C-alpha cells in the first residue's frame, strides 16, 4: 500500500516472535506490544490490522528463521540420536506454544504449524531413508522429550533401541 | 455498548441505548472486504484520542463519536475500557472503530473468523 513507516517492520516482527514465543498469545496484550516493540498503537493497527494479524506474520517468520535451519540441519542427520539432538536443541518456542495454544482455535495457525512439522518429518525421512510416518513418530518423540525438559538419559534410552533405523 | 454481528458480507455495529445519542450514530455497516481485523484492547482508552467532532467525550465516563488523530478518523463508543475492541478498517470513512462489547473475546473471534 506504499505507506511510509516510522519503524522497521522486520525488526518489529522479529521482536514479536520473541514476545509471543515467551509469553503465549493470550499473555501478550496490545499494551505489551506497544511497550516492547517500540511502535505506536495506531501504526501497529495500520500495519498489521490486528493482534492476530501480527501473530500470524510472526509465526511464519519463526518458521523461516528458526524451523527452516532445523529442517536443513536434519537433512544431514545420520541416525535417530542426531535427529533427537537437533530437535531438542532448536529454538522452537513459538511453534510449540502455537501448536498447543492457538492451533486448536485457529485454522490458519493450525495449517502453519502442520506444514512446519511436515517439513521436519520429510527432512528426517529423506536423511535416514525411512517412511514419513516413522519420521513423524521420531519428531513426535523428540518434541515430547523436549516438552519434558529433555530429562537426562531419555533420548539415549530411546535411540539405543531405535538405531540403526534405516 | 455496541452489538457487533455479521450480516452476509457486511460487518454491522449497532449502538445500544443512549450510546446512539452520545455517538450520534445508531449503526455502522462495513463490507467485510474493508475489515482488516479485530483486537481486544483494554489499554487503548488510556491513550490520547485526538480531537472530537462530532460526539461526546466526558473523560472517565464516556468516549463516543468521531475523533480525529494523526490524520485518521476513529469512531469511539466506550464507557468501560476493559471491554473495548478495536476493529481496523481499510478504504472506509473511519480508519478504525473502538467499541465496547459485552464479550470482547467472542466478538474478536466472530470478526476474525469472518475474515478467513
Alpha carbon distance B53, B63 (integer Å): 12
Cβ pair A45:B116 closer than 8 A? no
Residue with cell 455498548: B1
Q: In the 8-state DSSP scheme, what is residue B90? A: S
Band of residue B52 on the pLDDT scale cut at 50, 70, 90: confident
Alpha carbon distance B101, B114 (integer Å): 17
Answer whether residue B51 shows pLDDT above 70: yes
Distance from CA of A108 to the nearest CA of B (A): 8
pLDDT tens digit sequence for B58-107: 776 778 889 998 889 999 999 999 999 999 999 999 999 999 999 999 99
> Mean pLDDT, chain A, as a whole number?
93
Task: Find which of A3, A32, A42, A109 to mutate to test the B interface (most B CBs within 10 Å of its CB).
Answer: A42
Q: Name the region of B69 (left: φ>0; alpha: ψ -120 to 50; beta: rest).
A: beta
The Cα angle at residue A45 between residues A112 and A17, in degrees rounded to 5 = 40
Q: What is the pLDDT of residue A1?
A: 44
- All three cell numbers of B87, joined, read 476493529
Using N-to-C axis directions, what is the helix angle for A132-147 and A154-162, rounded to 10°? 160
Cβ pair B37:A50 closer than 8 A? yes
What φ, ψ does residue B40 adopt, rounded to 5°?
Answer: -70, 130
Cβ pair B43:A29 closer than 8 A? yes
Alpha carbon distance B52, B54 (integer Å): 6
- The whole-number average pLDDT for the span A14-28 is 96
More confident position, A130 or B70: A130
Delineate the domains of chain A, giving CATH numbers in brackets: 9-162 (1.10.357.10)
- The whole-number average pLDDT for the span A10-29 is 96
Distance from CA of B21 to the nearest CA of A (A): 27
Q: In the 8-state DSSP scheme, what is residue B34? A: G
| Closest among A87, A159, A93 to A123, alpha carbons compared | A87
* Global confidence as pTM: 0.92
Least confident window among A14-18, A130-134, A160-164, B30-34: A160-164
Q: Are B32 and B115 within 8 A, CB to CB?
A: yes
Burial of A124-159, coded b for 16+ CB within 10 Å and e otherwise, reads bbebbebeeebbbebbebbbebbeeeeeeebbeebb
Residues 10-29 of B with CB under 8 A from A: none
- The whole-number average pLDDT for the span B33-45 is 97
**The complex's ipTM?**
0.91
- The whole-number average pLDDT for the span A112-141 is 97
Q: Where are the domains of chain B?
A: 2-115
Amino acid at each position: 500500500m506504499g505507506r511510509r513507516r516510522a519503524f522497521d517492520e522486520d525488526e518489529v516482527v522479529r521482536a514479536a516472535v520473541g514476545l509471543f514465543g515467551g509469553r503465549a498469545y493470550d499473555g501478550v496484550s496490545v499494551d505489551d506490544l506497544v511497550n516492547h516493540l517500540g511502535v505506536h498503537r495506531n501504526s501497529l493497527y495500520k500495519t498489521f490490522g490486528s493482534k492476530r494479524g501480527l501473530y500470524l506474520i510472526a509465526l511464519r517468520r519463526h518458521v523461516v528463521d528458526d524451523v527452516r535451519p532445523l529442517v536443513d540441519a536434519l537433512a544431514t542427520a545420520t541416525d535417530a540420536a542426531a535427529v533427537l539432538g537437533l530437535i531438542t536443541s532448536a529454538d522452537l518456542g513459538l511453534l510449540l506454544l502455537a501448536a498447543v495454544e492457538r492451533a486448536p482455535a485457529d485454522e490458519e495457525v493450525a495449517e502453519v504449524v502442520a506444514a512446519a512439522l511436515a517439513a521436519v518429518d520429510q527432512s528426517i525421512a529423506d536423511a535416514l531413508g525411512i517412511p514419513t510416518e516413522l519420521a513423524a513418530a521420531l519428531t513426535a518423540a523428540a518434541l515430547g522429550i523436549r516438552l519434558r525438559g529433555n530429562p537426562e538419559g531419555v533420548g539415549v534410552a530411546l535411540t539405543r533401541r531405535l538405531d540403526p533405523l534405516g | 455498548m455496541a452489538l457487533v454481528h455479521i450480516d452476509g458480507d457486511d460487518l454491522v455495529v449497532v449502538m445500544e441505548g443512549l450510546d446512539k445519542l452520545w455517538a450520534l450514530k445508531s449503526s455502522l455497516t462495513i463490507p467485510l472486504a474493508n475489515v482488516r481485523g479485530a483486537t481486544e484492547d483494554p489499554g487503548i482508552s488510556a491513550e490520547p484520542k485526538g480531537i472530537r467532532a462530532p460526539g461526546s467525550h466526558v473523560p472517565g465516563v464516556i468516549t463516543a463519536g468521531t475523533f480525529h488523530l494523526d490524520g485518521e478518523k476513529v469512531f469511539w463508543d466506550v464507557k468501560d475500557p476493559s471491554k473495548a475492541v478495536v476493529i481496523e478498517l481499510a478504504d472506509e470513512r473511519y480508519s478504525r472503530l473502538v467499541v465496547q462489547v459485552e464479550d470482547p473475546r467472542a466478538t474478536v473471534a466472530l470478526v476474525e473468523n469472518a475474515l478467513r
